[in-house]
């Protein structure tokens, strides 16, 4: 369908079509494994917090290791490397998709599955995560459709960010992802990791491993 033919609210606009181009970031190398017949599920992992000492980054690192142990090829990225302005329709009209959003769309497209750590701000997902996903959904076609996805969360609070995780699952489902049922929300996460970054609580560790195993297994099953 031509872009011009789509209704306005959902029509992605061509980059640079009506104004200056976004500054080009250095082109990233593809994380896709070299072999075209590599059977490993390719998983793109990122946290909705870019904070240096993010608890969600710590939890994500644990799940990423478990996913690799389960046979997944995981590309762990940091949203600090994909700086995006707050989504604004005028910006998009004038400049199209910012280059970091284009890079993210490419990455999502190149991977079979997503692993997202979703911190909780005022019982919702973070603005960073929402804004990142919002920009990516302006691409055509929707890069999230048909991906397998898993969501984990960590918080110093007693619920472990579970409300945010639920909303992230809802959002991903709405975007066409197959979200695996396994969940891992780590409460009191400021006390949950040892000096090496391992989860000290056995139940939390097992939950993290279950999410990783289920993500890899489900992705494998859905691969052609």
Ligand X SMILES: Cc1cc2nc3c(=O)[nH]c(=O)nc-3n(C[C@H](O)[C@H](O)[C@H](O)COP(=O)(O)O)c2cc1C
Residues lying near ligand X in the complex (CB under 6 A): 49, 51, 54-56, 119-123, 155-157, 159, 161
In the complex, the smallest distance separating the C-beta of residue 59 from ligand X, rounded to whole angstroms, is 8
User: Phi/psi of residue 115, each to 5°?
Assistant: -125, 115
Residue whose CB is less far from ligand X, 12 or 157: 157
Cα-Cα end-to-end distance for the chain: 26
Residue whose CB is less far from ligand X, 12 or 156: 156
Rounded Cα–Cα distance for residues 50 and 67 (Å): 21
Residue whose CB is less far from ligand X, 60 or 105: 60
In the complex, the smallest distance separating the C-beta of residue 27 from ligand X, rounded to whole angstroms, is 29
Asked if 182 and 211 touch (Cβ cutoff 8 Å), the reply is yes
Residue whose CB is less far from ligand X, 152 or 216: 152
In the complex, the smallest distance separating the C-beta of residue 6 from ligand X, rounded to whole angstroms, is 35
In the complex, the smallest distance separating the C-beta of residue 201 from ligand X, rounded to whole angstroms, is 17
Which residues on adjacent β-strands are paired with residue 75?
44
User: What's 151-213 look like in SS3?
Assistant: EEEECCCCCCCHHHHHHHHHHHHHCCCEECCCCEEECCHHHCECCCCCECCHHHHHHHHHHHH
Inter-helix orientation angle 127-136/99-110, to 10°: 80
In the complex, the smallest distance separating the C-beta of residue 69 from ligand X, rounded to whole angstroms, is 23
Asked if 43 and 190 touch (Cβ cutoff 8 Å), the reply is no
Residue whose CB is less far from ligand X, 85 or 156: 156
Q: Which helix (H) or strand (E) holds 62?
A: helix 55-69
In the complex, the smallest distance separating the C-beta of residue 222 from ligand X, rounded to whole angstroms, is 29
Residue whose CB is less far from ligand X, 54 or 166: 54
Cβ neighbours of 26 (radius 10 Å): 7
């Amino acid at each position: 369908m031509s872009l011009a033919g789509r209704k306005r609210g959902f029509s992605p606009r061509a980059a640079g079509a009506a104004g200056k181009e976004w500054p080009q970031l250095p082109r990233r190398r593809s994380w896709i494994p070299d072999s075209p017949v590599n059977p490993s599920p390719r998983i793109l992992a990122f946290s909705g917090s870019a904070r240096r000492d993010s608890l969600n980054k710590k939890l994500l690192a644990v799940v990423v290791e478990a996913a690799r142990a389960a046979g997944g090829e995981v590309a762990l990225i940091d949203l600090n490397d994909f700086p995006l302005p707050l989504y604004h329709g005028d910006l998009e009209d004038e400049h199209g998709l910012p280059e970091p959003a284009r890079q993210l769309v490419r990455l999502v497209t190149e991977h079979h599955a997503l692993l997202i750590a979703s911190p909780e701000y005022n019982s919702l997902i973070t603005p960073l995560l929402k804004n990142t996903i919002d920009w990516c959904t302006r691409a055509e076609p929707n890069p999230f459709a048909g991906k397998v996805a898993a969501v984990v969360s960590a918080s110093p609070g007693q619920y472990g960010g579970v409300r945010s995780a639920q909303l992230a699952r809802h959002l991903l489902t709405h975007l066409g992802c197959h979200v695996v049922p396994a969940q891992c929300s780590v409460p009191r996460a400021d006390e949950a990791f040892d000096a090496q970054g391992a989860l000290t609580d056995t139940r939390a560790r097992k939950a993290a491993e279950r999410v990783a195993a289920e993500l890899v297994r489900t992705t494998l099953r859905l691969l052609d």
